[in-house]
């Protein structure tokens, strides 16, 4: 499928478990982002990446790990899930030059019990 | 305060115009964006405006930018029930590829 995909779309996990959310884009965009969306907080940036092997922390990185060994993939790992990480997670990509508009995936709804 | 502020809710009647407002704080913003999020989906770019423009029109959408007041608005003409969604305002600062998003305005269109 062309575009940006996320998997799984829904996930229920238990406190303390490790879980990985996958993000794949077919455009070879340089920049990729992970956000979480919570009621009352809007979108908050977790991590971002300017290119393969280059990642950086966003506003709320604690408890998350990312990697980017290939341009098209940007997985997000919760090393030991907590209830406060229950959220909807969105991956996005963008490509310079231009307006740096972002293209979003459909999201992963994660519930930590 | 927040870098980008929006009101949380807007309710309009089908066929009326909707105006969603946004204020931002950074005078060095280069691009300002409007994204739409339908239920259960990711954000989708509706339109954007470069900071040296005052207005941009695209079919039923009109974006107005008042740089002096740091105010951005999105007008949707002839609003339809399919326009019901959350609308996010965002801005990117000069030299940055990371936008700052507002918290979103839920637009409710009723018959």
Contact call for A41 and B103, based on CB within 8 A? yes
Cβ–Cβ contact B102 with A under 8 A: yes
Contact call for A90 and B42, based on CB within 8 A? yes
Overall average pLDDT of the A87-109 stretch: 92
Contact call for A102 and B88, based on CB within 8 A? no
A2 exposure class (CB count in 10 Å sphere: 0-12, 13-18, 19+): exposed
Within 13 Å of residue B34, how many CA atoms lie on the same side as its CB? 27
Per-residue confidence (pLDDT) for residue A17, from 0 to 100: 98
- Tens-of-pLDDT digits for all 111 residues of chain B? 568 999 999 999 999 999 999 999 887 888 999 999 999 999 999 999 998 899 999 999 999 999 999 999 999 999 999 999 999 999 998 778 899 999 999 999 999
Comparing alpha-carbon positions, the chain A residue that sits nearest to B30 is A99
Report DSSP letters for B40-106, one per residue: TS-EEEEEEEETT-SEEEETTEEEEEETTTTEEEEEESS--GGG-EEEEEEEEETT----EE---EE
**What number of C-beta contacts closer than 8 Å exist between A and B?**
52
CA distance A28 to B21: 34
**Residue whose pair of structure tokens reads 């280069």 in the numeric block:** B30
Contact call for B43 and A40, based on CB within 8 A? no
- Cross-chain CB nearest to B42 (options A48, A100, A104): A104
B31, B99, B103, B104, best to mutate vs chain A, most A CBs in 10 Å: B99
Q: How far is CA A66 from CA A57, B72, B100, in A?
A: 9, 34, 21
- A37-90 pLDDT, tens digit per residue, is 998 788 999 999 999 999 999 999 999 999 999 999 999 999 999 999 999 999
């Amino acid at each position: 499928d062309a575009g940006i995909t996320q998997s799984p779309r829904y996930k229920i996990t238990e406190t303390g478990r490790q879980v990985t959310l996958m993000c794949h884009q077919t455009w070879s965009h340089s920049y990729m982002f992970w956000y979480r969306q919570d009621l009352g907080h809007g979108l908050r940036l977790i991590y971002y990446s300017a290119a393969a092997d280059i990642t950086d922390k966003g506003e709320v990185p604690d408890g998350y790990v990312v990697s980017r060994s290939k341009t098209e993939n940007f997985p997000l790992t919760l090393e030991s899930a907590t209830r406060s990480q229950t959220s909807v997670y969105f991956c996005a990509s963008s490509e310079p030059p231009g307006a740096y508009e972002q293209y979003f995936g459909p999201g992963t709804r994660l519930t930590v019990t | 305060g927040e870098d980008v502020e929006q009101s949380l809710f807007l309710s309009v009647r089908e066929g009326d115009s909707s105006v969603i407002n946004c204020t931002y704080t950074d005078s060095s913003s280069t691009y300002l964006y409007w994204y739409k999020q339908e239920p259960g989906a990711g954000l989708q770019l509706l339109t954007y405006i470069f900071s040296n423009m005052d207005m941009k029109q695209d079919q039923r959408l009109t974006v107005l930018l008042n740089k002096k007041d740091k105010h951005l608005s999105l007008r949707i003409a002839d609003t339809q029930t399919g326009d019901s969604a959350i609308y996010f305002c965002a801005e990117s600062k000069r030299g940055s590829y990371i936008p700052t998003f507002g918290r979103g305005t839920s637009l409710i269109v009723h018959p």
